[in-house]
């Protein structure tokens, strides 16, 4: 059984029927996130049905019509990616993904999907990879964008779910578009796809550092690992920009996220555009955030602009600036 490292803590490997018990425990943790978007989540409710879900994919793999792979973080199953359809005759396949909260903020789904798509194109000679997603699934749509996919259309009210009918969006990427044409030529850095995956990971580490939902303890200290030591973080949300070095940014926010001032906080990208030119890169992204500040629930959106540098230690952020749109109280 192959194992593919995704980063220094996460692995991608096949998910098989004998792992049904571990799979069921994971789905129970992820059910509220997964159930609206992945049809088999509602069907995997006990050990027998979880084993049956994995057996269906084992049967598809045996006939070369589908596959399922799990993502393990620090030895715990936290998500996965799958070929829901795989037709080697037509050269068309469909990829999907899921993740529980414990795996968020590291770019693991994007890294895993890149690995499967790369295998489909370079290893199996597929021509087209599709991504079908419910229109309300903002996180999945954001991954499709990061993978360089094109949105082809919307199938209105395509399927029922708990008393309502949901729209489906169809995204795709073609073999000639993979990796994207604006490749990276710097020696030793590999394809643009690999660099994009690393920039996705750095952004995921940044946003994930603030998460304190479900009792999770935030760790803003990891920001020192994704920034160059001279990095700057800029809040441009008032009359004048406020410019922080890493220490002045991290310390008060770590305190606020752990002393009860700001609870159940999370933030994630919903769209991004990244440009890579040799040893420098720029990312413009839109994000959503939510949490409870001094007992008052809020939700908000905003935009970030991030500059990256390739250093002897690898890609790092050099500066990040953000502008919040006014939050809405609930």
**What value does the mean pLDDT take over residues 232-255?**
94
pLDDT given at position 3: 82
Confidence of residue 185 (pLDDT cuts 50, 70, 90): very low
Structural tokens at position 252 = 């008060």
Collapsed DSSP state (helix, strand, coil) of residue 163: coil
Q: Average per-residue pLDDT in the chain? A: 87
| Higher per-residue confidence, 38 vs 205 | 205
Domains of the chain, by residue range, sit at 4-177, 198-329
> Rounded distance, CA 57 to CA 69, Å?
10
DSSP 8-state secondary structure symbol assigned to residue 55 = H
Question: 4-177 maps to which CATH number?
Answer: 3.40.630.30
Q: What is the pLDDT of residue 328?
A: 55
Q: What is the pTM of this model?
A: 0.58
- Give the ranges where the chain is alpha helix by DSSP (H): 20-34, 47-62, 108-118, 138-146, 192-208, 223-226, 246-258
Residue among 41, 43, 22 nearest 31 (CA): 41
CATH of domain 198-329: 3.10.450.50
CA angle, 106 as apex, 102 and 111 as ends, to 5°? 115
- Answer whether the bond into residue 15 is a cis peptide, omega within 30°: no
pLDDT above 70: residue 180: no
């Amino acid at each position: 059984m192959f194992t593919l490292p995704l980063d220094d803590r996460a692995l991608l490997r096949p998910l098989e029927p004998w792992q049904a018990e571990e799979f069921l425990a994971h789905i129970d943790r992820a059910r509220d996130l997964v159930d609206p978007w992945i049809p088999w989540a509602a069907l995997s409710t006990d050990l027998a049905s979880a084993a049956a879900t994995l057996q269906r994919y084992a049967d598809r793999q045996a006939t070369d019509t589908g596959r399922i792979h799990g993502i393990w973080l620090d030895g715990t199953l936290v998500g996965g990616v799958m070929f829901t359809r795989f037709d080697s005759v037509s050269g068309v396949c469909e990829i999907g993904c899921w993740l529980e909260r414990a795996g968020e903020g590291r770019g693991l789904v994007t890294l895993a999907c890149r690995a499967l798509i790369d295998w489909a194109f370079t290893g199996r000679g597929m021509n087209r990879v599709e991504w079908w997603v419910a229109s309300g699934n903002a996180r999945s749509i954001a991954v499709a964008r990061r993978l360089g996919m094109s949105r082809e259309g919307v199938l209105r009210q395509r399927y029922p779910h708990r008393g309502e009918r949901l729209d489906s969006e169809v995204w795709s990427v073609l073999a000639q578009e993979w990796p994207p044409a604006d490749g990276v030529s710097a020696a030793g850095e590999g394809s643009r796809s690999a660099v994009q995956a690393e920039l996705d990971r750095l952004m995921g580490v940044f946003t994930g550092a603030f998460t304190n939902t479900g009792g999770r303890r935030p760790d803003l200290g990891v920001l020192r690992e994704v920034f160059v030591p001279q990095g700057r973080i800029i809040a441009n949300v008032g009359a004048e920009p406020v410019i922080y070095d890493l220490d002045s940014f991290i310390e008060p926010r770590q305190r606020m996220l752990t002393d009860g001032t700001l609870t159940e906080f999370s933030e994630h990208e919903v769209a991004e555009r990244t440009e890579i030119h040799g040893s420098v890169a720029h990312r413009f992204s839109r994000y959503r955030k939510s949490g409870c500040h001094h007992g008052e629930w809020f939700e908000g959106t905003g935009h970030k602009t991030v500059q990256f540098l390739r250093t002897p230690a690898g890609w790092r952020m050099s500066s990040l600036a953000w502008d919040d749109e006014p939050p809405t109280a609930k």
